[in-house]
Amino acid sequence: MTIDGKAIAGRVMADLIPRAERLAQAAGRKACLAVVLVGDNPASRTYVRAKIKAAELVGIQGKELEFPAGVPQDELLAAVSALDADPSVDGILVQLPLPPQIDPDRVLDAISPAKDVDGFHPANVSSLQLGRPCTIPCTPKGIIRLIDSTGVSIEGKRAVVVGRSNIVGKPVAKLLLDRNATVSIAHSHTRDLKSLTREADILVVATGKRSLVDGSMVKPGAIVIDVGITRTAEGTLGGDVDFASAKDVAAWITPVPGGVGPMTVAMLMENTLECFEARINR
């Protein structure tokens, strides 16, 4: 069966509306999410638009800042630091990837952990690893919710994560471990990927390689979460999993588009309200 990420995200967003309203009453203003876009990557622009639109839908003020691809690092760092110091801003997100003259670590370090709605700051990353309270990165958090939506228990299951990025692979592996799955992380140097993925009760694929995983690599009855999204020259969107062949083998599978993507945006809204609430109660 298909895991309808779009519908599940829609319900999460609807539930966030009264929470945003309640917090706005308490604070005397709406939560404010600042989204920073650098350059003209069309995919990044689409994601930033979706995030601002979702914020407004939930009752969060969206503040979009745009910089040209050639912006000097110092100028970007100054702008991010200004947002960080601005008491009317509750969450800051800098859309990745950044152009080559910018060191992403310098930018992520400039956002204080309390406003880091992406959960990318080293303090949040280390807290996640240590099991301390933190902001959980949006995509991994959304993936766990999508798995939970199936009603299948994660505990004791064999989980395989293909991809080891800081944004998805590593944090989702930790979240699955926290839920008592037995977790393996595969990557571009993994030998015999197929024999590993065929053992997975839960298979998360986050590589950015179109159709890397097909039905022959999926264990019958598995839950398959496809994080990849790429556009072909003809303009069709597709994932890291070949949906057509995998859907008949898996018990549950996320489509692309309409799976993980909308859930990531919904989790960003939830993280923003969590940061807002913590700031109000400070």
Listed ranges 89-97, 179-187, 215-223, 254-262: which one lies at the site for ligand GUN (CB under 6 A):
89-97
Residues in the chain: 282
Listed ranges 60-68, 92-100, 127-135, 193-201: which one lies at the site for ligand GUN (CB under 6 A):
92-100
Considering CB under 6 A, how many residues would be counted as binding ligand GUN? Answer: 9
Q: Which of residues 209-248 bind ligand GUN (CB under 6 A)?
A: none
Q: Which is catalytic among the residues 30, 51, 174, 219?
A: 51
Q: Which of 150, 120, 152 is nearest to 136 (CA)?
A: 120
How far apart are alpha carbons 267 and 269 in whole angstroms? Answer: 5
Tokens 């601002």 map to which residue? 52
How far apart are alpha carbons 186 and 192 in whole angstroms? Answer: 10
CA dihedral 173, 178, 182, 188 (to 10 degrees): 10
CB 254 within 8 A of CB 146: yes
138 lies in the binding site for ligand GUN (CB under 6 A): yes
Least distance to ligand GUN from the beta carbon of 237, Å?
A: 15
90 lies in the binding site for ligand GUN (CB under 6 A): no
114 lies in the binding site for ligand GUN (CB under 6 A): no
95 lies in the binding site for ligand GUN (CB under 6 A): yes
Listed ranges 3-11, 56-64, 87-95, 152-160: which one lies at the site for ligand GUN (CB under 6 A):
87-95
Q: Which is catalytic among the residues 61, 95, 226, 242?
A: 95
Q: Which is catalytic among the residues 30, 63, 116, 118?
A: 118
- Chain centroid to CA 230: how far? 16
96 lies in the binding site for ligand GUN (CB under 6 A): yes
To the query of whether residue 101 is one of the catalytic residues in this protein, the response is no
Q: Which of 281, 270, 280 is nearest to 59 (CA)?
A: 270
- Near ligand GUN by CB under 6 A: residue from 8, 34, 159, 167: 167
Q: What are the backbone angles phi and psi of residue 62, rounded to the nearest 5°?
A: -95, 135
Select 83 or 250, whichever has its Cβ closest to ligand GUN: 83
Q: Which of 111, 77, 135, 118 is nearest to 278 (CA)?
A: 135
DSSP 237-272: EE-SB-HHHHTTT-SEE--SSSSHHHHHHHHHHHHH
Tokens 């898996």 map to which residue? 250
Q: Which of residues 247-266 bind ligand GUN (CB under 6 A)?
A: 264
To the query of whether residue 61 is one of the catalytic residues in this protein, the response is no
How far apart are alpha carbons 252 and 127 in whole angstroms? Answer: 31
When CB distances to ligand GUN are compared, the closest residue is 96
To the query of whether residue 95 is one of the catalytic residues in this protein, the response is yes
Give Cβ neighbours of residue 257 (< 8 Å, ≥ 6 apart). 229, 237
Select 138 or 250, whichever has its Cβ closest to ligand GUN: 138
Binding site for ligand GUN (CB under 6 A): 93-96, 118, 138-139, 167, 264
Catalytic residue positions, numbered: 51, 95, 118
